[in-house]
Structure 1
């Protein structure tokens, strides 16, 4: 009697045959983490978008999902430190390492240096993954490198590979806290610190970028209250009257979030939208505009506020896919107060001086959200900011042109980088005679310590928020 080959189908009670459930991949958490890291490297994928999709599509849940999340974000946050250490453990330059192998080495280094996974388990599991994704020969190379990494802890390695703090403070912080040097220097300048002055507050900010951010929720005005979120396990927030903190768990598990009455939104992002809505305007207050609305967080909040005042919000977004996200964010707002259009706000589809309030949240380097998008620090360069500056200036000019006399504009960036914040606003103010600055902190009394002259600047290490910048300007 000969053995029959195993059928790829299994029988049901009624004799029907259907495909058998495929076996669960070995070590799904590390495989997901590797695939996301590889995609970030090779096709500029965003981890915060790709990782949840990968976990969902592969059915990875529970402890495996938590491990995949820690390995992905932890590796991206500490990538600069790990690369300096790995470079000391590779016989040749780290730049010569295969692009398929480098994410494995970083993944292994993170397990060895920043988790409680036993060293032998970290090396063994990573090498086993390497055999499956890059082959036996390169797995041996990964094994040799990771065993060298395992002989010291993180502090011992950093003492070896980081420049001396006494002679190169910025370079030292760049390696120890895993940021490109130019970002360290840019953040120090935004904080008013000099590289030769110790950079104490800059170091606190860099450390905050490597901490896991808390989840902040927004109760959409007119559709939910903070009490609804608190009743589901959230805690009242420190600043925004519409915010709540979720200590743990999946936000989608909360009923108000599932129903679209609440959403995830950073607290500083809520506050800059609130400040725009709070500035007094004389005359009509019926037409509001969000010029760069995607993905829709601020538009969702403004739509609720506008609806409560019988005003109407027009939300414009250049990219159709992001416009779809905006439409979801404002759906079923109070009085259906929002409309979404796909439009290029540098060439407005509306007439000039048509709006009473205008929000322009310009495209920027995103240096204020490095806690949530750690890979952004490795993609941005000083040239990125230079290339964005003309667009940022043009958008602010168009925002002012779109605002009636006596109306107000909120210029917002999720970056504290001076050339993107006060540099843009001051340049535009110097080019126009119809603009007056409004002291933004007067309309954000919840956070008086965020005042920066006429402007407002939030910080992760001071406020626990993204580093959001706000300037309020009146058309006069």
Structure 2
């Protein structure tokens, strides 16, 4: 009781999801990095951890459309809603429109969450959530999305929660086939599987798969598919024998390491290294060959993540702009995984004159 008024703490899975989503928006954090720490801090495991994970990633995946719906229900743009209440409402809207959580439970639990993070907005949040609950997702899309036959790009942007520029880029890449574009957008919103990377010299993918109850990857020789759970709690990850990394990213690092060249093969450069997944794999491969990796990252917090991801590996992390002079005059292998549109500027990466293959650029 506080001042004669009953206060209700939010349940822990929703609190965990809120803290992760808020960190993404407030601090520019990576959800896949902050959420495991939050789950450990709140001692969430099993179904509770799975629910918090689904709320976090589902809300972030569908944020564009959720924001339109929250704004319509609130009668104002989401940018005019205080950030704590806004993030809580996003989570509530996701529960109402994308999960089997009963409407009354989603509203009640989200109002409790708002009460704890933005006490003055509880009545407002209750009204907005009840308004959202008056329609299902298809009905909201029908109200808010432009008609498909008038503007298919704008319609798909709302219906499948992707920015219009991504819808347009997908459609152009598929030769203007909107049926294929729609299918691809739907698949892009599916919950992604968790992949581990078995670090060469420290773990074998087949043996790691048996250890964690997963399956070896289909494409990368280092990949292991996990059936679920919290990968950060696995002994292999804690001990540095493996790390979480999408199989596609593993293939990029492997392509760099396998590219044929002549002459020296001792100095490798990862020019845009944060947050360190590919650098970790490159470092493990370099350790087997007696090579060393220089990892360059312009953002300080991302550089720290690279350092954490490469402990015990022959990797030197430099916090600087990759366009500035580097200590080494030349490198034998160069990886540029640059965020567009900066990728073109990162082409200043240097490769020795004797190298048979150009730098590997991956966007």
Which range, TM-score by smaller chain?
0.7 to 0.9
Q: Distance in 1 between matches of 2:27 and 2:357?
A: 40
Partner of 2:282: 302
Distance of aligned partners of 1:41 and 1:310 in 2 relative to their CA distance in 1, 3 Å threshold: closer
Partner of 1:435: none
Q: CA deviation at 1:320?
A: 5.3
- Confirm whether residue 69 of structure 1 aligns to residue 53 of structure 2: yes
Partner of 2:3: none
SS at structure 1 position matched to 2:206: helix
- Confirm whether residue 347 of structure 1 aligns to residue 327 of structure 2: no
Q: Distance in 2 between matches of 1:143 and 1:346?
A: 51
Partner of 1:395: 346
Distance of aligned partners of 1:96 and 1:263 in 2 relative to their CA distance in 1, 3 Å threshold: closer
Q: Equivalent residues in 2 for 1:447-466 (5 A)?
A: none
Contact 2:272–2:296 (8 Å) recurs in 1: yes
Q: Distance in 2 between matches of 1:359 and 1:92?
A: 45
Partner of 1:221: 200
Distance of aligned partners of 1:54 and 1:406 in 2 relative to their CA distance in 1, 3 Å threshold: closer
Q: 1:259 aligns with which of 209, 222, 239?
A: 239
Partner of 1:193: 175
Q: Distance in 2 between matches of 1:228 and 1:340?
A: 31
Contact 2:9–2:113 (8 Å) recurs in 1: no
Distance of aligned partners of 1:166 and 1:46 in 2 relative to their CA distance in 1, 3 Å threshold: same
SS at structure 2 position matched to 1:280: coil
Q: Distance in 1 between matches of 2:116 and 2:288?
A: 57
Q: Distance in 1 between matches of 2:309 and 2:246?
A: 15
Q: 1:110 aligns with which of 77, 90, 94?
A: 94
Tell me the alpha carbon deviations over residues 40-67 of structure 1, each in whole angstroms, 9 at most, x when there is no partner: 3444343333333333333344433322
Q: CA deviation at 1:342?
A: 4.2
Q: CA deviation at 1:181?
A: 1.6
- Confirm whether residue 314 of structure 1 aligns to residue 294 of structure 2: yes
Moved more, 256-265 or 282-291: 282-291
Q: Distance in 1 between matches of 2:39 and 2:286?
A: 37
Contact 2:17–2:53 (8 Å) recurs in 1: yes
Distance of aligned partners of 1:171 and 1:290 in 2 relative to their CA distance in 1, 3 Å threshold: same
Q: Distance in 1 between matches of 2:66 and 2:356?
A: 50
Contact 1:29–1:60 (8 Å) recurs in 2: yes
Contact 2:269–2:293 (8 Å) recurs in 1: yes
TM-score (norm 2): 0.86
Contact 1:29–1:68 (8 Å) recurs in 2: yes
- Confirm whether residue 170 of structure 1 aligns to residue 153 of structure 2: yes
Moved more, 171-180 or 222-231: 222-231
Q: CA deviation at 1:175?
A: 0.4
Partner of 1:142: 125
SS at structure 1 position matched to 2:185: helix
SS at structure 1 position matched to 2:359: strand
Partner of 2:263: 283
Tell me the alpha carbon deviations over residues 108-128 of structure 1, each in whole angstroms, 9 at most, x when there is no partner: 211111111111111222223
Uncovered stretches (5+) of structure 1, i.e. residues with no partner: 1-23, 366-384, 415-476
Q: Equivalent residues in 2 for 1:300-379 (5 A)?
A: 300-319=280-299, 321-333=301-313, 337-352=314-329, 354-362=330-338, 364-365=339-340
Q: Equivalent residues in 2 for 1:65-104 (5 A)?
A: 65-104=49-88
Which structure's CA Rg is the greater one? 1
Q: 1:411 aligns with which of 345, 354, 360?
A: 360
Q: CA deviation at 1:94?
A: 4.9
Q: Distance in 2 between matches of 1:309 and 1:49?
A: 30
Contact 2:22–2:87 (8 Å) recurs in 1: yes
Distance of aligned partners of 1:348 and 1:201 in 2 relative to their CA distance in 1, 3 Å threshold: farther
SS at structure 2 position matched to 1:34: helix
Q: CA deviation at 1:77?
A: 1.6
Contact 2:272–2:336 (8 Å) recurs in 1: yes
- Confirm whether residue 293 of structure 1 aligns to residue 273 of structure 2: yes
Tell me the alpha carbon deviations over residues 136-155 of structure 1, each in whole angstroms, 9 at most, x when there is no partner: 6x322222222222222212
Q: 1:126 aligns with which of 83, 86, 110?
A: 110
Contact 1:219–1:242 (8 Å) recurs in 2: yes
Number of aligned residue pairs: give it. Answer: 355
Tell me the alpha carbon deviations over residues 147-166 of structure 1, each in whole angstroms, 9 at most, x when there is no partner: 22222221222222211111
SS at structure 2 position matched to 1:358: strand
Contact 2:10–2:112 (8 Å) recurs in 1: no
Q: Distance in 2 between matches of 1:160 and 1:324?
A: 45
Alignment RMSD: 2.7
Contact 1:287–1:311 (8 Å) recurs in 2: yes
Partner of 1:205: 184
TM-score (norm 1): 0.67
